[in-house]
């Protein structure tokens, strides 16, 4: 009975905490508000036309990608230091959520580029460095994809998350350091945005952060539960009870 009691306590309650549901509701409301601001308030851009509205979720998705990959690097670093499974779960959650938004960035950017540049893909430094970062985190996910990672795979994946972290700086500064076609509207020194475009972008950035936070939390909870199942099965095997479970 001691085993069962301790496992239940570690896994936490089956239901999600109220704050988790509140965050989910706030995120949904925020995303709807952002859609309204994007399509009803923000004007059509003069040169590119309506396709420029991709900007209002392409940029928040890129921001969410940074948050996810930073979480993965922090989780990986802390796991290598503390060897605590909670940090491993945080690392996995960060990498998966970051990869989700990296995919969104890599799909929506070329669709915008088709109109803006006349081509879906150009080997621009920012596009290339983002693709390269995505491939590194795909390597991470292929390591951890089975969900049955041992200590070696966990350490290897954590190290990969940490050494991939500098790629984020490469993405961030590639647009300024090297030539390329990627716009520099937000961080550049040009005319910036038309005033009516700011509310949609601001809402996208704020509620994009809420969305990535909620997804990180949700994925972290899943991973902690899976870890708990793995620990219980291992303890059962050590006590010779595994055959009773299947």
* 180 part of the interface to other proteins, by CB under 8 A: yes
DSSP state of 180: -
Cβ distance to other proteins smaller for residue 11 or 33 = 11
Site for other proteins in 64-93 (CB under 8 A): none
In angstroms, the CA 22 to CA 235 distance is 36
| Site track 19-38 with other proteins (rule: CB under 8 A), x = hit | --------------------
Site for other proteins in 181-200 (CB under 8 A): 181-185, 188-194, 196-197
CA 176 from chain centre, in angstroms, equals 24
Is 45 strand, coil or helix? strand
In angstroms, the CA 133 to CA 157 distance is 15
Site for other proteins in 93-152 (CB under 8 A): 96-97, 100, 103-104, 107-108, 111-112, 114-116, 118, 122-125, 128-129, 131-132, 135-136, 138-139, 142-143, 152
**Cα–Cα nearest to 221, from 77, 10, 55, 67:** 10
Site for other proteins in 39-68 (CB under 8 A): 43-55, 57-58, 61
Cβ distance to other proteins smaller for residue 25 or 44 = 44
* 244 part of the interface to other proteins, by CB under 8 A: yes
**Cα–Cα nearest to 58, from 241, 200, 175, 222:** 200
Span of 68-76, 79-87, 238-246 interacting with other proteins by CB under 8 A: 238-246
Concatenate the DSSP letters of all residues of 115-133 into one string.
Answer: HHTSSS----HHHHHHHHH
């Amino acid at each position: 009975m001691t085993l069962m009691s301790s496992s239940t306590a570690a896994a936490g309650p089956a239901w999600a905490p109220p704050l988790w549901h509140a965050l989910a509701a706030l995120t949904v409301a925020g995303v709807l508000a952002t859609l309204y601001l994007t399509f009803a308030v923000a004007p059509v851009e003069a040169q590119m036309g309506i396709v420029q509205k991709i900007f209002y979720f392409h940029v928040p998705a890129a921001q969410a990608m940074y948050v996810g990959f930073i979480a993965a690097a922090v989780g990986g670093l802390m796991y290598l230091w503390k060897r605590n499974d909670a940090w491993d779960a945080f690392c996995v959650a960060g990498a998966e959520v970051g990869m989700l938004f990296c995919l969104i960035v890599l799909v929506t950017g070329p669709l915008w580029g088709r109109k803006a540049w006349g081509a879906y893909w150009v080997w621009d430094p920012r596009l290339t460095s983002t693709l390269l970062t995505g491939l590194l985190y795909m390597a991470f996910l292929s390591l951890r994809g089975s969900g049955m990672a041992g200590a070696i795979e966990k350490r290897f994946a954590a190290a990969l998350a940490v050494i991939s972290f500098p790629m984020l700086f490469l993405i961030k500064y590639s647009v300024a350091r090297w030539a390329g076609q990627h716009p520099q509207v937000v961080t550049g020194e040009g005319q910036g945005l038309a005033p009516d475009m700011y509310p949609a972008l601001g809402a996208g950035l704020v509620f994009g952060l809420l969305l990535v936070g909620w997804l990180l939390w949700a994925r972290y909870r899943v991973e902690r539960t899976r870890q708990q199942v793995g620990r219980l099965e291992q303890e059962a095997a050590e006590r010779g009870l595994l055959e009773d479970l299947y």
